Amino acid sequence: MTEIIKTDALIVGAGPVGLFAVFELGLLDIKAHVLDILPKIGGQCSELYPEKPIYDIPGFPTITGQGLVDNLMKQIEPFHPTFHFNEQVEQLESIGTPAAPLFRVRTNGDLTFEAKTVIIAAGGGSFQPKKPPVPGIEAYENISVFYAVRKMESFRGKRVLIVGGGDSALDWSLNLAPIAERVILMHRRDEFRAAPHSVNAMRELVAAGKMDLTLGQMTGLKGEGGELSAVTVKANDGSIYDFECNRMMPFFGLTMKLGPIADWGLNLHENLVPVDTEKFETNVPGVFAIGDINTYPGKLKLILSGFHEAALAAQKANRYVFPDKKVVFQYTTSSSSLQKKLGVG
């Protein structure tokens, strides 16, 4: 039996809104664990537009996606949240009562939590690898087509076609080249988004005859019973040919999918979780939804709205976690007790 991690609050999603929830909960002495399926914090800001400027964060005439996330991390540091990355929250089960909620939460990596309150800050859902739109690809997935490497050994002696031009495609080409019978990297053009040093390393391997690089796009798959035998390729001169391989790894970036949240017994409206606008609580008492994942009349999918939602959800969460505590409204500017929590008093 795995150990159960007990926590006041569990936050699903480490996007900007989940991060700020740590701050608002922290001011109320509520300790939080934060989970994300990604290997890093920041949600859409870090994954989709780290370098782009945002112009509508109050008090910051301009700040980049990553800059905002870095600042949030600094801001929540005094509260020492515990992060669990590469973990998708799969199950949420209510084991308490409406007056004293308690939830058992499980992840795909076998972590189990017991939380007094759950804050869903899941944005557009779990970031997952984008599938290339090749007909019939599902039949090969996890048999001979992989979106991630779990065991390098399973590629030993295989002819591996890696498709893409970013860091993942390049990194896995380099890592698998010594293990596989042959690694072939396929990209639509002879320019790569990946870090220059991995591009150089790849070109060296190609020059030394240790792997191949081919330009073109995948249009079809051939094989039987999930075992790939060839990939149909459209070359840049328009010619179409079959390329023999028995493993294929496509890297076409990430997309957001609602994922397991649909099975948690929450009301859903067009893949969003309806909440009230006083506490941002879902139909399940003790479970809150804030940021892009929620919906209510007038909802705007803006970071600033998510921050506001985090502050109000924390107030109600406080009543579940500390039912007997008297709530006094305080400013961070003037309250010595808040300043002590922030480590500035």
Partner 1 sequence: MVKITFIDAAGQSRIVEAEEGSTVMEAAIRNDVSGIEAECGGACACATCHVYVDDSWLEKLPKAESMEEDMLDFAYDVRPASRLSCQIRVTAEIDGLVLHTPEQQG
d(CA 273, CA 275): 6
Does residue 166 interact with ligand FAD by CB under 6 A?
no
Do the beta carbons of residue 176 and residue 162 sit within 8 Å?
yes
CB of 177 to partner 1, least distance (A): 21
Cβ partners under 8 Å of residue 221, min gap 6: 134, 135, 136, 137, 140, 145, 228, 230, 231, 232, 248
d(CA 330, CA 335): 6
Provide the CB-side half-sphere exposure for 190 (13 A, CA): 6
CB of 92 to partner 1, least distance (A): 27
Residue 164 binding partner per list partner 1, ligand FAD, none, with a CB distance cut-off of 5 to 8 Å that depends on partner kind: partner 1
Tell me the sheet residues that pair with 89.
107
Does residue 190 interact with partner 1 by CB under 8 A?
no
d(CA 54, CA 308): 18
Binders of ligand FAD among 16-35, rule CB under 6 A?
Answer: 16-18, 35
Do the beta carbons of residue 33 and residue 82 sit within 8 Å?
yes
Cβ partners under 8 Å of residue 288, min gap 6: 117, 118, 119, 120, 275, 279, 280, 281, 282, 313, 316, 317
Residue 171 binding partner per list partner 1, ligand FAD, none, with a CB distance cut-off of 5 to 8 Å that depends on partner kind: none
CB of 104 to ligand FAD, least distance (A): 15
Among residues 151, 157, 207, 202, which one has the least CA distance to residue 182?
A: 157
Residue 96 binding partner per list partner 1, ligand FAD, none, with a CB distance cut-off of 5 to 8 Å that depends on partner kind: none
Does residue 292 interact with ligand FAD by CB under 6 A?
yes
d(CA 24, CA 338): 11
Does residue 166 interact with partner 1 by CB under 8 A?
yes
Tell me the sheet residues that pair with 227.
224
Binders of partner 1 among 131-150, rule CB under 8 A?
Answer: 132-133
Does residue 50 interact with ligand FAD by CB under 6 A?
no
Residue 123 binding partner per list partner 1, ligand FAD, none, with a CB distance cut-off of 5 to 8 Å that depends on partner kind: ligand FAD
CB of 301 to ligand FAD, least distance (A): 5
Does residue 191 interact with partner 1 by CB under 8 A?
yes
Q: Among 1-9, 112-120, 142-150, 185-193, which window interacts with partner 1 (CB under 8 A)?
A: 185-193
Q: Which residue is nearest to ligand FAD (CB)?
A: 123
d(CA 274, CA 153): 45
Residue 50 binding partner per list partner 1, ligand FAD, none, with a CB distance cut-off of 5 to 8 Å that depends on partner kind: none
Give me the residues that bind ligand FAD (CB under 6 A), please: 12-18, 35-38, 43-45, 48-49, 54, 56, 88-89, 121-127, 259-261, 291-292, 301-304, 306
Interacting residues with partner 1 (CB under 8 A): 48-49, 52, 130, 132-133, 164-166, 187-189, 191, 193, 217, 219, 252-253
